[in-house]
Chains A and B, each alone.
Chain A
Amino acid sequence: MLFWQILIDGFAISSLYALGATGFTLIFGVTGVLNLSHGAIMVAAAVAAWAASGNFGAGAYVAAIFGIVVALLLALATYYLIVRRLQLSRAVREEEKEIFILTATLLWGIMIQEAIAYLFTNNAKTVLPIVDGVITILGVRTPANEIFTALVCWAAIGGLWLFVNRTLAGKAVLAASMNPRGVALLGIELATVYVGVWAIYGALAGVAGVLLGMFLGVSSYSAGPLTASAFSIVVLGGLGSVSGSLIAAYVVGYLETLTAYLISPAYRAIPALLLLVAVMYVRPRGLLGRR
């Protein structure tokens, strides 16, 4: 019984981590940007969905879509207002741009977080669930929403895989992550690829944020820990490696669930962080990292 419980609960939370980390690693792999406003964008999506249903009476689907659209717009704003400006800037030295962009996205995330706290208070909020009720699987009473969360996460990740591997536009994205100059030589506008990737990222972060809001609930405080968790999953999996991130998400998700069940919920996050430190020592490029 306990075994099945850990297996099922761990799967749902890991899938959510996987989706959250996928967008984060995609942006890094293709555009080289570590977007530290990631958690804030996820929170914004969830709070927008909450506000749409709570304040304007939207249904669960409309609210969820509204949340995703808000995340998409914020991701594009992150690109146009923060990242692009710094990339084109003549005032910042070329070799320092990376650290400037890193800092700028961190500050941008804090701005979003503070704005949410100011407008909607820092109390935790939950998004209206799309599916209600519970289903008993192998004797474990599981909220239907938990299963829905895992399914949507995998549908989104699967959709991304199909896009990257089966469409021309997707192949351009993949190529840009390997050799940006080569892509440009083939006559593909790199800027267009980047905008597209940021839009995809926004949608993925939005879906992850809305699902998180339905499953666990979020508050403006969650922004920092969400960025940190995506960051550590991506580092554990290997920077820029999507499949590495997926594996790392499940390692972290199950390690946390096992700890919560078998040791104490109070120590939930600790073993995963210890593992991360250990991997940094033994295999600094992460599980499937290429560099």
Chain B
Amino acid sequence: MAPYETAAARSATLRGALGAASAALALAITQPAWAQDSAPIKIGVIAEAQAVAGSSIPQAAQIAADEINAKGGVDGRKIEIVSYDNHSSSAESVRAFQRAVNEDHVNAVIGSYISEVVLALEPWAGRLKTVFITPGAASDVITQNIAKDYEHNKYTFHGYLTSGALAGLVCDAAKDMLVDGLKMKTAVIMSEDAAWTGPLDAGYEVCLPKIGLKVLDHIRFSPDTTDFTPIFNKIEGQKPDVIITGISHVGTQPTVQWKSQQVPIPMFGISSQATNSTFWKDTNGATEGVIYQGVSGPGVAVTPKTLPFVDAFAKKFGNMPSYAGYTAYDDVYIIVDAIKRAGSLDSDKLVDAMEKTDTVGTIGRIQFLPKGDPHVHGLKTGPGLITGLMLQWQDGKQVNMWPAALANGKLEFPSFVKIASGR
């Protein structure tokens, strides 16, 4: 804790040299510096409090902080979570970030599951030299920006999978489940037009043919689409074996219309809203049979830390964490672990320590890609690190299907879905 000792020493010298009046002034000026020794370590959390995915972020961070504080904190200093609601807006997020750093003096920021928001905050993390980690955004551009201008952008870390990595994980699962398991041959990609789906779709286009799924068409639709009838009709006309999804801003509406229209083709891929435990209720059960990628699932012990976290969350908040909840919980531990190893709250030292992270979180083993990688500060994926899961909604429950070692059920589809191998 060298910087504080220097500051305290400096204030002592001042006090010796100056009169009583200026001593009081000096005390007031230097107070924050040495008072920090016992003051809490503050972590700002900027999130979408009104969105299901975002609302878990501050809640999960609080659970991690409570756990750390119950064990005595960091060298006797408590962790304090300061949370800000950004109303899903980039502009409000930037204001919250400035306030968090300049007025509330947070030591690091965890923020947002929306790529557009994270991309708006990234330059501010550089300008205000504050460690910033996102628990849920997926755009590859976040890490590409760090690679492009490392010195300026190195304060940003990507605590969730990039879209490119997600596409790879979906293809890994599709190979085992669809191509080898169900003998499928063709697919249509259906994704929303947003920052995060650009690299996802590019990844799909490359990896699906490689695993043996021919891409018949690629439909991108506006995220404010409400009527999906034309989209499903168009897809059905092309007779693919499976619809590979890339949806997050939308979820309820395409799922409900998939069911009410009885589209006979299964949906498989990224469907962020399907990861929420409330999705069954939001869709009145229309999500039955939908297969989606996740980093966690109820009852799935991805790591020894996963289930204890889920239990603690459910006990405190009465529902299950969203995908960004798991990562937000891990992010607090990653930051605290880095602070301990750095022995300092200095942002540059924290960045160095964060880069050396090697810890087991709730979604797998966490390591960041090193400087020089095109996705520097992104999470490493693959066997032994993070592999992700593939889950299916069955009778109101999220059941894990993949990887086989963690599976707790078998694929089942609603009667209107016709599986290609049976055609």
Contacts and interface: CB of A to CB of B under 8 A. Distances in A.
Contact of A124 (B50, B88, B227, B282): B282
Contacts of B278: 123
Interface string B25-68: 00000000000000000000000001110010000000000000
Given A124-B282, A143-B260, A145-B260, A261 B233 contact: yes
B12 interface: no
A126 B278 CA distance: 12
A185 B51 CA distance: 54
Contact of B222 (A123, A128, A266): A266
Contacts of B256: 126, 217
Nearest to B85: A118
Contacts of A133: 262
Contacts of B55: 121
A35 interface: no
A124 B250 contact: yes
B88 A122 contact: yes
Interface in B227-241: 227-231, 233-234
Interface string A201-221: 000000000000000110111
B225 A265 contact: yes
Interface string A125-146: 1111100111000000101011
Contacts of B226: 216-217, 222
B251 interface: yes
Interface string A146-182: 1000000000000000000000000000000000000
A260 interface: yes
A143 B229 CA distance: 10
A54 interface: yes
B222 A268 contact: yes
Contacts of A261: 230, 233-234
A121 B87 CA distance: 11
A264 B253 CA distance: 18
B262 A141 contact: yes
A10 to B, nearest CB: 10
Contact of B51 (A121, A128, A146, A260): A121
A148 B378 CA distance: 50
Contact of A123 (B231, B234, B273): B273
B257 interface: yes
B151 interface: no
Given A123-B52, A128-B284, A266-B222, A216 B257 contact: yes
A216 B232 CA distance: 13
A103 to B, nearest CB: 21
Contact of A266 (B51, B193, B282, B284): B193
Among B55, B260, B262, chain A packs the most CB atoms within 10 A around the CB of: B260
21 contacts: A54-B281, A121-B50, A125-B282, A126-B252, A126-B282, A126-B283, A141-B261, A141-B262, A143-B261, A216-B227, A217-B226, A221-B224, A257-B227, A257-B230, A260-B227, A260-B231, A261-B234, A265-B221, A265-B231, A266-B193, A266-B221
Would you list the 10 A-B pairs with minimal beta carbon distance, nearest first? A124-B252, A260-B230, A143-B260, A217-B253, A117-B50, A265-B221, A126-B256, A216-B226, A122-B50, A54-B281
